[in-house]
């Protein structure tokens, strides 16, 4: 392992340390939270990512599956598909690398890609761009954790255990692009869905620096920004 990957691995682990989380939470609460409270997303009666991914694979007859960020293989093990690759620098899957180094060396193409690695806007944006380059025609990209319920769940750096990160900003950016068609399935903390086809409902917004979007923007505009749909609707348009 080179020094860069070693430091990155330590940093990822350190981010989960409780004292760092407590300090980050204090900073967010004191200086950044606008006290908007919870949006009220309730995923308890919605399908889980395991059944969503499997149903889509079965329905479309997909033969190859890539998961970025596998952790304890809760999803990776559940997925049944002819060819499977799981990438994580720390645990689970089949390839012990960051997504960046995986994409640099990978020569394979995939029908179904599930992105669930580092939950930072800039990393998710890269993971989406790299995934689009290796997606087979008619394939699908899914992105986990797109619907944070409150400021703290989406704060970067991470400040609590339940954490979506600012993945949502990468989805908003995708929604503004002409050549990809982006939705968010209302299930399992929000599952972003990207098809490599013309955008059917392009999002027009003023803010051009997506990184600078605030939770406040998401709080008031999440339906429009994220193109939220139920799983039953998603199945009809895939
Ligand atoms: C939320 S967990 C994944 C959960 C898993 N997909 C599931 O559904 O059960 C996030 C994982 O991303 C991994 N990760 C962090 N940075 C990464 C990176 N740069 N590339 C790939 N994976 C990364 C972490 O090690 C962690 O295991």
Which residue has tokens 């204090």?
26
- What number of other Cβ atoms are within 10 A of residue 149's Cβ? 19
Residue 12 Cβ contacting ligand 1 at under 6 Å: yes
Q: What is the distance in A from the centroid of ligand 1 to the CA of 119?
A: 8
The stretches of 115-214 forming alpha helices (DSSP H) are 121-133, 167-175
Give the pLDDT mean for 114-139: 98
Residue 98 Cβ contacting ligand 1 at under 6 Å: yes
User: What pLDDT is stored for residue 17 in this prediction?
Assistant: 84
Question: Please, what is the end-to-end C-alpha distance for the chain in angstroms?
Answer: 40
Which residue, by CA, sits nearest to atom 2 of ligand 1? Answer: 71
Binning pLDDT at 50, 70 and 90, where does residue 13 land? low
Q: What is the distance in A from the centroid of ligand 1 to the CA of 201?
A: 30
The domain segmentation of the chain, as residue ranges, is: 3-32+47-237
Residue 48 Cβ contacting ligand 1 at under 6 Å: no
User: From the alpha carbon of 74, which atom of ligand 1 is closest?
Assistant: 9
CB 52 within 8 A of CB 231: yes
Residue 43 Cβ contacting ligand 1 at under 6 Å: no
Q: What is the distance in A from the centroid of ligand 1 to the CA of 34?
A: 29
What does the pLDDT look like over 187-230, one tens digit per residue?
999 999 999 999 999 999 987 899 999 999 999 999 999 999 99
**184's tokens:** 């968010």
CATH of domain 3-32+47-237: 3.40.50.150
Decide if pLDDT at 6 tops 90: no
Decide if pLDDT at 236 tops 60: yes
**118's tokens:** 């580092």
| Environment class of 14 (CB within 10 Å of its CB; exposed 0-12, middle 13-18, buried 19+) | exposed
User: What pLDDT is stored for residue 105 in this prediction?
Assistant: 98
């Amino acid at each position: 392992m080179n020094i860069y990957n070693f430091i990155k691995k330590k940093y990822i682990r350190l981010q989960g340390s409780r004292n760092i989380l407590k300090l980050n939470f204090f900073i967010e609460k004191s200086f950044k939270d606008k006290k908007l409270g919870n949006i009220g997303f309730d995923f308890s009666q919605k399908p889980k990512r395991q059944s969503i991914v499997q149903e889509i694979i079965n329905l479309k007859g997909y033969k190859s599956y890539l998961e970025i960020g596998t952790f304890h293989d809760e999803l990776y093990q559940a997925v049944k598909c002819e060819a499977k690759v799981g990438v994580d620098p720390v645990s689970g899957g089949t390839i012990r690398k960051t997504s960046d180094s995986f994409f640099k060396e990978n020569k394979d193409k995939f029908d179904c890609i599930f992105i669930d690695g580092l939950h930072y806007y800039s990393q998710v944006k890269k993971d989406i761009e790299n995934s689009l380059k290796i997606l087979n025609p008619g394939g699908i990209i899914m992105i986990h954790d797109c619907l944070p319920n409150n400021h703290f769940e989406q704060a970067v750096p991470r400040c609590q255990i339940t954490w979506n990160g600012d993945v949502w900003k990468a989805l908003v950016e995708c929604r503004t692009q002409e050549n990809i068609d982006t939705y968010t399935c209302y299930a399992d903390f929000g599952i972003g869905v990207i098809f490599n086809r013309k955008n059917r409902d392009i999002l027009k917004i003023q803010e051009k620096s997506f990184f600078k979007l605030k939770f406040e923007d998401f709080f008031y505009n999440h339906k429009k920004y994220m193109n939220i749909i139920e799983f039953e609707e998603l199945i009809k348009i895939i």
